[in-house]
Amino acid sequence: MRRETALGAIVCLSVSGQVQGEPALFPALPVLQVEPSWGWVVGASVVALIIGFMLGWRTLDRRIRKKYGGLRIY
């Protein structure tokens, strides 16, 4: 019976937050708001654009060489 009472008290503490003079069991954690700087956004966009351009060029080259028997015709 005492165990159920103790568990009930813990549930009440966790639901209500604080009891008169008692510290909270789970204090609120600080929320960190991190925003990416514009430098990172622009840099990542430029890198993605360059990589996409290179992969597209390579895919186009491979398809053209396959179609024309290994010749590079543009």
Tell me the pLDDT tens digit for each residue of 11-63: 554 445 455 555 566 667 777 777 778 999 999 999 999 999 999 999 999 99
Question: In terms of DSSP H, where are the helices of the chain?
Answer: 2-16, 38-67
Q: What phi and psi, each to the nearest 5 degrees, are found at residue 13?
A: -65, -40
Please report the pLDDT score of residue 12 as a whole number: 53
Please report the pLDDT score of residue 58 as a whole number: 96
Cα(22)–Cα(29) distance, rounded to whole angstroms?
18
Cα distances from 14 to residues 1, 20, 31, 37, in angstroms, run 20, 13, 20, 38
The C-alpha angle 67, 53, 43, rounded to 5 degrees, equals 165
Domain boundaries, the chain: 2-27+36-67
